[in-house]
Structure 1
Amino acid sequence: MTAETFNLIAAICLVALALAAVGIAWSVMRTATEARGLMVTLRDELPQTLQQARVTAASVESLTTELAPRLERLDRLADEAEETFVALRATIAAADSIVRGPADVMDGAKRTAESVGKGLLSGADRLRRRMVHENDA
C-alpha cells in the first residue's frame, strides 16, 4: 500500500466519520428541541392534571365515606325483606292449611268410604260365589 492510497482511505474514513458526527449532532439537536417542547407541555399541563387528580381523589373519598352507611342500611333492608318473605311464606302455609284442611278431611272421608264400599262389594261377591259353588256341589 502506498502512502497516497493510505491517505485516500484515511480521508474517506474521516469524511464518513464527519458525516456520521453531523448526523448524530442533527439527531441530538432534534431530540433536544423535542425535549424542550415536552418540558413546556409538562410545565403547562401537569399542574392542571395534578389538581384534577386531587379533586378526583377527594370525590372518591367522599363517595366511599357516604357509601358505607348506605350499604349498612341496604343490608338491613335486605335482612328485613328476607324476614318478611319468611313470615309471608308461613302466612300462606297457614292460610293454605285453613282452606285445604276441610277439603283434605272430605277427600280422606271420601277415600275411606270408597275403600269400605269396595271391600264390602268384594266380600259380598266372594260370599255369593261361595254360595253358588256350594249349591252346585
Structure 2
Amino acid sequence: MPSDLESTIRFLEETNDPATAFFTYTVDPSGESGLIKANKQGLRLYAAEILRKAQQLEDTEEEKPEEPIDFAPLQWMFSETGYDLISGVLPQYQTRQEILATQFFSRRPARPRRHKQPVFLFILMCITGALIMLVTLKAFPNLRLWVNIR
C-alpha cells in the first residue's frame, strides 16, 4: 500500500503545475458554511498533500506522536481570511467509534428544558402594556380623548 500511495502522490505532483494551481478556504454568502475555492490543479495538489500526511501518519504509527503534522507553506495555497484555517493534521490513531465515545460522551448529559408557563407570559405582557400606556399618557396628556367627550 505505501508504494501505491507514494506513486499516487508522485503522479499528482508531476501532472499538476503549482504555478497554475489555486486553492483557498472561504465561506458561502450566508456565512454559515465553509467552502473550498479551487481550480482542478489546486484540488489535486491539496489531495496529494493530504495523502502525504496520511503516509506520515502511517510511518509514525508505532510512536503515536501527539503533536500536529503541519503543512509546509505552499505557493498555490492562499488565505482569504488572513490566517490558515487548516494549518496541519492532528493525528488520531483510534477508530471513529472510539474517538466519538471518548470525546462526546464524557460530558454530562443535557437536562431537558422546562417549558415556560403561558400564564406567566400573559401576566408579563399585561404589565408591560400597562406601563407603556402610563408612560404614553404622562408624555402626551392631550391623548385622553375620553375625558373631553360630551
TM-score bracket, shorter-length normalisation: under 0.3
Structure having greater relative contact order (Cα 8 Å, sep ≥ 6): 2
- Point out the structure with max Rg over C-alpha: 1
Q: Which has the higher strand share?
A: 2
Q: Which has the higher helix share?
A: 1
TM-score, normalising length: structure 2: 0.26
TM-score, normalising length: structure 1: 0.27
